Amino acid sequence: MQYRTLGRTGVQVSSLALGAMNFGRMGRTTQDEVTAIVDAALEAGVNLIDTADVYSAGESEEMVGKAIAGRRDDIVLATKASLPMGDERNHQGSSRRWLVTELDNSLRRLGVDHVDLYQIHRWDPSTSDEETLSALTDLQRAGKIRYFGSSTFPAYRIVQAQWAAREHHLGRYVTEQPSYSILQRGIETHVLPVTEEYGLGVLVWSPLSSGWLSGAVREGREITSNRSAFMPQRFDVTFTANRARLDAVERLAEVADEAGLTMIQLALGFVTAHPAVTSALIGPRTLDHLHSQLAAADTVLSADVLDAIDTVVAPGVDLAAHEKNDAPPALLDAALRRR
């Protein structure tokens, strides 16, 4: 396992981090399965675990808390907030009112007195940066969080938040957690240059592109993954974007074969090769998934392999741009672009 410094924090984290989105009802995993996955990941050298309040409505945090009991100090523990936690209109967002309340809920579910990294899951356009950063700064000073970061923020919002922290003499985001894979390279255009400029740690999610790069998705093969069961539109190859992804996967499989790599090694080796990336979040649902992903822990792609990948999907290109989660609100809500 390789280790890298998380931005400018001085904290050393593994290049592969354990994402807990599949823990609980969403991934149909039991507590025993989650504990076995956590045990195996830690034994392999993973020292960063990332979860969120919204994953299986808090169940993921509860399972992670039970799995790490007795070894909290050996783990860099991260969670997130801001996505809706129910129908109550104020049980979401990044207001002081909600963040203070929901962090306490997360700490209770995790069974800990602090988290190492608290992340705003999505930019909240209805809340000012000063409001959010002042709340996070106070929570940090209270000892409930060590650092705070953003997740899936557009590049201009990352810059704006850095400016607001300086303008108002507040703590700043020290990490960003964007989506990044061979098939979704858009963040190379704006987000990664910004994170490098400000010295942010980068924890990338979906490096296997929702399973497209797992090796299980191939031409002529039925797609039966857990993800395809509840997100069938992302795998319907009659859609133009999905057809393009499948065509790219077939070409990437040839690149992997010629290099003597699995598709997972190719995919994870690609994202961790970028100098701006600190860690890739893997989200196994089973022990077999975990072991196949851990096999990429020390994968280093040659320049020839990286060049070959560039010929399949060009730098800065998203093959499924409609799946991006960082679009300005006015692109998604017509009322915001009408006078």
Provide the residue-wise pLDDT of the chain in tens; the chain has 339 residues.
Answer: 999 999 999 999 999 999 999 999 989 999 999 999 999 999 999 999 999 999 999 999 999 999 999 999 999 999 999 999 999 999 999 999 999 999 999 999 999 999 999 999 999 999 999 999 999 999 999 999 999 999 999 999 999 999 999 999 999 999 999 999 999 999 999 999 999 999 999 999 999 998 899 988 777 776 666 666 566 677 777 788 889 999 999 999 999 999 999 999 999 999 999 999 999 999 999 999 999 999 999 999 999 999 999 999 999 999 988 887 777 778 778 888 887
Q: How far is CA 307 from CA 179, 255, 297, 314, in A?
A: 21, 10, 21, 10
In degrees, rounded to 5, the angle at the alpha carbon of residue 98 between the alpha carbons of residues 159 and 130 is: 30
Active-site hit among 3, 55, 118, 173: 55
| Residue 283 in tokens | 């989200």
The torsion angle over the Cα atoms of residues 326, 330, 333 and 336, rounded to 10 degrees, is 150
Identify whether 55 is a catalytic site residue.
Answer: yes
Q: Which amino acid is at 170?
A: L
Give dist(CA 326, CA 144) in Å, integer: 28
Contact yes or no for 147/9 (Cβ under 8 A): yes
